[in-house]
Structure 1
Amino acid sequence: MSSTAPVPRFPGGTAVSGLRVYDWESVDGLCGGSPHLHTVSSEAYLVTAGRGEVHTLSMAGAEEHSLAAGALLWFSPGTVHRLVNTEDLTLTVIMSNAGLPEAGDAVLTFPRHIVQDPDLYAEHAVLPRDVEESVLAAASRRRRDLALEGYAQLHTSVLTDGPGALAEFHRAAARLVRPRVERWKELWEANVLAQVRATGQALEELAEGSAASLAGAAVARGGRRTGEGYGMCGRLTTWEDARL
């Protein structure tokens, strides 16, 4: 196996990470992560160990979905989701549009006055860098608790007024990410669209009887990065070249 073999990319720009959902208890007695939505990317959870739930707010209203080893659940952009950890919940997270979630595609459910103020939102959403782990963990937990505060308000609105209550939050989320969209387009074209075009070219070549698209046959391995990061919902494990 060549150590320099390029990673075979997937149309859709798939990204993979491991997630150990936070076991921090919140004010409502549940343990878990920060509620949020993605404005562009779809997401899937493949449960590898433990038990828990994911609570969602979507056009279907407020729902709770049980999670156990072997379960697979995915949701589309605009779906607010909150992971709840009841017993060592561990997931493989699969995202579309690799590069966009890392570039700010996710919007946390902070209280309304924060979500409506881009500067205030950024102040609370960004975690400190180059600090001790205890400081980073505390900041992550504060961010989670603030997102749960806004989530409780939004959840009540959806229960009272129906899924249409999500519309205001969707509009606020769209305003927050709008300044990043031009950069997102560049990332999307270089990653997602490039792979779609490569598949289209391969189909054209095969239709002509050419095997040119198979000439790069290779195997690649992604090295696991050391340590765990602090994500929105838990401690993250990532791999080099995990943007497929």
Structure 2
Amino acid sequence: MPAFPGATSVSALEVYDGVAPDGLAGGTPHVHLVSAEAYLVVGGRGRLHTIDGARTFAERALAPGDVVWFAPGVIHRAINDGGLEVHVIMQNAGLPEAGDAVMTFPDDVLADPERYADAAALPGPEASDADRLAAAHARRDLAVAGYLALFGDDGDDGAVDPDRLGRLHARAAALVRPRVPDWRARWQAGALAVARETGHRLDALERGGDPGLAEARAAEASVAPAFGMCGRLQRYDTTNDHPEGAR
């Protein structure tokens, strides 16, 4: 099967409309460690809240046709102001699905891998839709509590506490570090292999040869619903490796 363009992955996302304890509807704040992410807004209205590596908080309006993207390391939270739907494009297909994201749970949860795993888990497909949605909201609410704590104790002036943000970065890196060998293998077989293939095609064209046109094939993806961190997903299976809970 040919690789999906750019060795990315794509999913359709209906952002949660349940209200978190701070009065805002939307998804779970989280951060990706090695993969960039992009939103293509296709319906509704909302906002994207971000905290970047320079400790800067920003809010961006989201409306149909908007495209926003952010580097790995940017904490982000999708706010649903009414029917917000986006198509999500993720770098390094396979890595986000293998746990590249860390949710902004309170520090005591981030410090304990077992507690983090328990807090991040959702019921399986044997559970009712209502129970799974309730668990996704509870997980979101716990991450919102940790996210709000990053702003310190001086109110809602948007000032991010540098020590708390630095500690979250350290906790997140420690949580994912054991997965790096698996991620490296996925990257080598996916995004890196696709980039190298482009180089081989350029080399063949430069030599006057066939860049692989005789072996060209088409493919299509199957789709499966899931409860993600930010909302209900229609996940397009371009890698055949999509455990529950990603995105």
Normalising by structure 2, what TM-score? 0.89
Distance in 1 of aligned mates of 2:73 and 2:26: 20
**1:217 corresponds to:** 216
Given that 2:150 and 2:161 are in contact with CA atoms closer than 8 Å, whether structure 1 keeps it comes out as no
- Once residues 234 and 52 of structure 1 are traced to their aligned partners in structure 2, the CA distance between those partners, rounded to angstroms, is 13
Q: Which residue matches 1:3?
A: none
Q: 2:134 aligns with which of 138, 147, 150?
A: 138
Greater RCO (Cα-Cα under 8 Å, separation 6 or more): 1
Match of 1:62 in 2: 57
2:8 counterpart residue number: 14
CA contact (8 A) 2:4 2:238 kept: no
Q: Give yes or no for contact 2:151–2:161 (8 Å, CA) kept in 1.
A: no
2:235 alignment partner AA:
T
Change (3 A) 1:167 1:207: same
Q: CA deviation at 1:231?
A: 0.2
Q: Is the 8 A contact 2:3 2:194 kept in 1?
A: no
Q: How many aligned positions are there?
A: 235
Residue aligned with 2:236, SS: coil
3-state secondary structure, aligned to 1:73: strand
Letter in 1 for 2:227: Y
Q: Which runs of 5+ in 1 are unaligned?
A: 1-5
Q: Distance in 2 between matches of 1:127 and 1:81?
A: 21
Contact 1:9 1:195 survives alignment (8 Å): no
TM-score normalized with structure 1 length: 0.90
The alpha-carbon deviation at position 144 of structure 1 amounts to 0.4
1:48 to 42, 58, 76: 42
Deviations 1:183-204 (A, max 9, x none): 1111111111111111111111
Shift of 1:162: 5.7
1-structure distance, mates of 2:198, 2:119: 41
State the shift of 1:239 in Å. 2.1
Distance 1:164 1:112, change over 3 A: closer
Paired position in structure 2 for 1:123: 118
Work out the percentage of aligned pairs sharing the same amino acid: 45
User: Amino acid of the residue matched to residue 108 of structure 2?
Assistant: H
Equivalent of residue 143 in structure 2, options 144, 147, 152: 147
Q: Give structure 2 stretches of 5+ with no counterpart.
A: 241-247
Give the 5 Å matches for 1:37-186: 37-60=31-54, 61-129=56-124, 130-156=126-152, 159-160=158-159, 165-186=164-185
Aligned partner letter, 2:91: S
Deviation at 1:164, TM superposition (A): 6.6
